[in-house]
């Protein structure tokens, strides 16, 4: 018993030690970004800030059209979160509860798209939207959103497939249509999965894509993720300061704040949604 207790304690110490080390590794880049945002413009980065220059945040907001780029990010993120969350639920419900020839094959084909790198389809997609006249508009994001997300569809399908058939059959006996069964029965009890899909879509859209907006949009319609690295900071005198990394760090700190807030607010739903889809499916 003493040996088992000692071994169990040693195991917990090793696990917690590894967790602490990994936590420090993940926190350090964010800490370095925050400390660098308070340094004097043009100075070298230090581990501990020697002074706090809050004017860097003022420069970050005023030397470029920060709020205009933020508005573009909100538009793109809103399209990429709201519409795929709904359309993926419809497709996931169809794969889980409806019958049809070739349903299993179509589901496997849909999953196979998750293994295809996005860069492979980037140029053909650009050519298609260019010929349709949708370059420098937000229409491509709308069309992508209507198709849903393969991973989101997978989560919905796994979750919906776990429901007993008795619930659906009882609803049909009461005269419910397929849409009413989906909307009034399945959607209200799938809120953890809806929250998971929304959080993942938000994180991926707000800060996860630099190249696509760079290809499909022009400077005035860049989201923040693209603008912060593509649009140079210029002093009012007109002299461009390429080395204003401190101001860029300040802009990045404000840029990542929504991602951190959304994650901490929804982490419980994120874990619950993934676990419920994996276990129940």
Domains along the sequence of the chain with CATH: 64-280 (1.10.3720.10)
Q: Which two tokens stand for residue 174?
A: 């009461």
DSSP class of 240: B
Beta-bridge partner residues of 234: 240
Whose tokens are 């800060």? That residue is 207
User: Can you give the pTM of this predicted structure?
Assistant: 0.83
Rounded distance, CA 253 to CA 128, Å? Answer: 36
Rounded distance, CA 168 to CA 108, Å? Answer: 25
Residue 250: exposure state from Cβ atoms within 10 A (0-12, 13-18, ≥19): buried
Which region, left, alpha or beta, applies to residue 116 given φ > 0 means left and ψ of -120 to 50 means alpha?
Answer: beta
Q: Which two tokens stand for residue 254?
A: 């404000």
Q: What is the pLDDT of residues 89-131, one digit of tens each?
A: 999 999 988 888 888 899 999 888 888 887 888 888 999 999 9
Contact 225, 209 (CB under 8 A): yes
Q: Which two tokens stand for residue 278?
A: 């994996």
Contact 193, 159 (CB under 8 A): yes
Contact 259, 206 (CB under 8 A): yes
Q: How many helices (H) and strands (E) does the chain have?
A: 13, 0
Q: What is the pLDDT of residues 163-180, one digit of tens each?
A: 888 888 888 888 888 888
Beta-bridge partner residues of 240: 234
Q: Which two tokens stand for residue 52?
A: 């706090």
Beta-bridge partner residues of 18: none
Per-residue confidence of the chain (281 residues) as pLDDT tens digits?
Answer: 545 556 678 778 888 889 889 888 888 888 888 888 888 877 777 777 777 888 889 988 888 889 999 999 999 999 999 999 999 999 999 998 888 888 889 999 988 888 888 788 888 899 999 999 999 999 999 999 998 888 899 989 988 888 888 888 888 888 888 888 888 888 888 888 888 889 889 988 887 778 889 889 988 899 998 888 887 776 665 555 545 788 888 889 999 998 888 888 877 776 665 555 554 44
Rounded distance, CA 150 to CA 195, Å? Answer: 16
Q: Work out the number of other CB atoms within 10 angstroms of the CB of residue 60.
A: 24
């Amino acid at each position: 018993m003493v040996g088992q207790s000692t071994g169990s304690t040693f195991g917990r110490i090793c696990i917690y030690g590894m967790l602490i080390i990994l936590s420090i590794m993940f926190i350090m880049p964010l800490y370095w970004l925050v400390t660098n945002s308070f340094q004097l413009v043009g100075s070298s980065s230090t581990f501990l800030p020697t002074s706090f220059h809050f004017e860097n945040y003022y420069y970050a907001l005023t030397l470029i059209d920060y709020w205009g780029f933020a508005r573009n990010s909100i538009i793109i993120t809103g399209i990429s979160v709201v519409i795929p969350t709904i359309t993926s639920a419809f497709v996931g419900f169809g794969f889980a509860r409806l019958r049809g020839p070739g349903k299993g094959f179509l589901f496997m084909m849909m999953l196979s798209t998750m293994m295809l790198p996005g860069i492979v389809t980037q140029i053909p997609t650009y050519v298609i939207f260019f010929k349709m006249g949708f370059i420098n508009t937000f229409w491509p994001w709308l069309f992508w959103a209507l198709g849903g997300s393969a991973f989101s569809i997978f989560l919905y399908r796994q979750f919906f497939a776990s429901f007993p058939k008795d619930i659906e059959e009882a609803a049909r006996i009461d005269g419910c249509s397929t849409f009413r069964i989906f909307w009034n029965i399945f959607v209200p009890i799938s809120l953890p999965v809806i929250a998971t899909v929304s959080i993942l879509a938000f994180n991926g859209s707000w800060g996860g894509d630099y190249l696509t907006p760079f290809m499909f949009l022009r400077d005035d319609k860049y989201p923040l993720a693209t603008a912060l690295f593509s649009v140079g900071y210029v002093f009012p005198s007109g002299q461009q300061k390429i080395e204003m990394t401190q101001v860029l760090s300040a802009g990045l700190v404000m840029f990542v704040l929504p991602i951190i807030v959304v994650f901490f607010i929804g982490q419980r739903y994120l874990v619950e949604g993934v676990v419920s889809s994996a276990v129940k499916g």
